[in-house]
Amino acid sequence: MRSSICFAQCTKRLLNNAVRASAKRSYNRPAIRKVFRMDQIREKELIINKLMIDAQNNNDEKNIDNDTWTAIREEMQKEFPDLNDKIDSIIYDLCLSYGKPQEAINFYKYLRASNVELQLNIVGKYLRAYSQLKRPVTKDEERDILETYNALREDYPLLGAKSCEDCIVALCMTKHWELSFELLDMMCEFQEPGSLVHSAIMTAAFKNNDPQKAWKLISGKTIPLTSSVHISYLDYCQRNFKGEQLINNVKKMLHFWRDQNLVLNQLVVDNYKTFFESLNYVTSKTSVSKDGICSACKTQLTQTTLSQDDFKILSDSVMKKLIVGKNVFCTTSPQELKRYMLFMKSMKSYDIVIDGLNVAFAKRKFENKGSIKNILEVVRYFQKYSPKKVLVVGRAHMNWWSNEDMESLRRVADVFLTKNLSADDPFLLHLTLLSGSNTYFVSRDLMRQHLHLLRDSKLKRLFKRWQMSRQYLFNTDTETKRIILHPPPEFELNTQEDMNVIHIPFSELESLILPRSYTVPENWLCVKKR
Instruction: List, for residues 132-166, the tens digit of each pLDDT value.
Output: 998 999 999 999 999 999 999 999 999 999 999 99
Is 466 in contact with 359 (CB distance < 8 Å)? no
Average pLDDT value over all residues in the chain: 86
The answer to whether residue 23 scores a pLDDT higher than 50 is no
Angle between helices 161-171 and 120-130 (to 10 degrees): 30
**Eight-class DSSP state of 80:** -
The answer to whether residue 14 scores a pLDDT higher than 50 is no
Q: What pLDDT, on the 0 to 100 scale, is given for residue 310?
A: 92
The answer to whether residue 61 scores a pLDDT higher than 90 is no
Distances (CA, A) of 174 to 55, 146, 206, 280, 338: 27, 8, 13, 35, 59
Q: What pLDDT, on the 0 to 100 scale, is given for residue 3?
A: 41
Q: What is the pLDDT of residues 418-440, one digit of tens each?
A: 886 567 888 899 999 999 999 99
Q: What pLDDT, on the 0 to 100 scale, is given for residue 67?
A: 92
The answer to whether residue 68 scores a pLDDT higher than 70 is yes
Q: What pLDDT, on the 0 to 100 scale, is given for residue 513?
A: 61
Residue among 123, 178, 174, 126 nearest 146 (CA): 174
Instruction: Give me the residue spans of the domains in the chain.
Output: 308-486
Bigger pLDDT: 350 or 423?
350
Q: What pLDDT, on the 0 to 100 scale, is given for residue 416?
A: 92
> What average pLDDT score do residues 321-340 get?
67
The rounded distance, in Å, linking the Cα atoms of 528 and 530 is 6
CATH top class, domain 308-486: alpha beta
Q: What pLDDT, on the 0 to 100 scale, is given for residue 34?
A: 44
Bigger pLDDT: 152 or 26?
152
Q: What pLDDT, on the 0 to 100 scale, is given for residue 368?
A: 63
The answer to whether residue 21 scores a pLDDT higher than 80 is no
Is 328 in contact with 339 (CB distance < 8 Å)? no
Bigger pLDDT: 188 or 332?
188
